[in-house]
Structure 1
């Protein structure tokens, strides 16, 4: 054996002894986890300010059985490279030929590379705050890289809580029309060159440049997103009610971590736990919460029927002044939350993907901390709330008995509908007509739309959408009689829709009543005007009765010279004052104007 062979053999033995010695000293496993976050208007600025791009090359695809053979990491500040970390890693296992063919890293290169313990000690120092979520990291197809990193850190006894952004997902979201979204394709899109593709350091640095350019591309969308989120945030008055509701749930032991609030486009504040379980609205009439109509705790409240969009006859509006007025509904509020929470947990239990989906769906909604809830509740106590002044509980409800329903239409009777016993065929034959009709309704061609709905119905299309479309078209035409009749038919055919349609039907009856009242008042007004005209015409045809008493003009012998209808008529002809004639007629004086005067008896 040569001297060189002797030293080589002894070196191998020493390495083997070192491995056996280390194997005898168990390393306490660490806990390293990673979490993908979404880019939004709230984190865009901090990410732009500082982030760490990352890439690994591995012996294979399994983060458990395979190992990292090369690490690349780059710290960026405002898109400019600040520091770079790059190292091969001797993982203690061989690299597969397929992996080596991609990254061109060979076993001979790894044999001379530093050990995992040495490399990861340096990497942990380099990453710093990124390992506790203080700085966001990024990678392309990032789950692959961070699954490998976290598994290795945990195995070596390190703890980490990493937050990362995936440039692959961002590219798919903001870059449209690319052939694919591989890193090399995205590099070409942004005009980036990569002299050492599939090597960790070069790929990591280019990934960092890609992220910064994606931030620029996304900026306009993020600004729009910001405005939409601000518009959906409840105002202070609404947040006070939200705080009361959250406090009720918390005091009864509910988990409020995923409780959220948002103001929708119709002005309602949705109280959500993935799904909406309560709605509150501050309307001109007053503030109210929507509660199921079978809730017994609403007896002492001012209540009102709901509209179709609010839940129909299954729900009622419960009016309140102060949020504390809702205290009697606490049990109802908690039960509604509990049922919703259980539904959310059931949905999330199927996969981690669904749980992440839940987190993403609520991330733009308003959340209240315990401190914010306490502060808002204290503000409520400081307010002097005006009492409820509306009185809707005793309002008379308009019914069909109060209106005349006169519906004129061309629909065939139900007995003549085709495919009535074959729903699938009815759908196939009728749906295209309904679809065309709905397009025409949205364009404002209401008469044509109704004709198409009639064809859809004739051919056997029987779905809630058809009757809803009918009702919408008739409402736009202000043909409330037909709306009521078609809704009656829909309720009879599909009783499960009765709650929503009954509310719409009630509204249509009220509108028809108002319409007919208006017509009645207009008809009465015309009648009175006609009567006045007739009275005037009658007054013209009848001679006017003379005003005053008739008076006789006589000579000294008592002969009547002339008879006048009144003293005024005598004055006008004779020219004697009315006082003189009146005095002569009353015996105050003998003559007036040389004549005797006497009232005609």
Structure 2
């Protein structure tokens, strides 16, 4: 009998993902760039997940072709020499079939990001090598589009960044497969994902962080929410709007402040990480929770502004995060009540702190807006450009991009955003020109992955031109 592989996509949402995720196998293939009928898999990566955690993995390069195109080498880092010295195709696939086991009988779900691509190669290769199989598969692109509708893009690396999933070697099979499995584990269903986020955040808050949250929420009545990011930044929100963000480091903590707040007084400030700089945020180092009293008018004004807002014009992302943070606040509220009652930092008991003496303002570095515009936070302009472009306001978007470029910003994201503006204006020549310019700059500073992505975008654009 002629070997035949059937494959069926699991698209019923909400699906019984809790049952599926008890045991599934995430796969990813790197190929020679041709279609599934004529092309070959040059690297296989797979990972069995049990109860949401990796249990066993399979990874191998495959000697299925003699040469790898420069484009594929640029994209994946896999060279012709690496493929030529790899085990032969038949041997690797025999091992892979044994690894998949019940997944080829439909007992476990096969999971992939853009699964139509990977399962097409899986089906074609199995049939060509003489295997029959019944495959049920789930596409995490489709799943993320339904469960994370606030995101504009659902590429593997973008979804991983959104869900704080580590992806070190993008476009290498095993790393991509493991990341794909973690995406499914995080997105069982809306409710399950919400519960998991709430549980993680509530457990992650330390006693010191609870004391600071208590001091903030005691400053006014609001529909509170509390969240904690992967970079340990705790954000207290009122009705989904950020009121105050801070990060603890031992007994001291730093308040995240924007340029408006910094201009009001001389202060000791430092740049934080790159993402915070993109949003125009700085860190103010504080020693005592009582020092928050100095910012009470600012916090109360933020509370008032937040409570006057509605969600009618807000993105789904705000609603999603608001749901998580509101439930987190409800979960930790008993602990907050205990902290407020036993803490010396409540409104009634807080003691004023002599800031001039405590922070030694005479030795502090005053905030300077010109430094801000020319310094590390120039990525702030890029953020503004992205926001303007998404609202189809291309003139201000180009203005912000020019400012970012003039101030010395040279990252792959900047070149992509410039290309995006020209793409929307249907200026393909300019779009490709800036992508290639970005690729050249990335090559000069040895940013290999960024160069690969820019070249890939340029190649796709050129392929569409008549």
Question: TM over 0.5, yes or no?
Answer: no
TM-score tier, shorter chain, comes to 0.3 to 0.5
CA radius of gyration, larger in:
1
TM-score calculated relative to the size of structure 2: 0.40
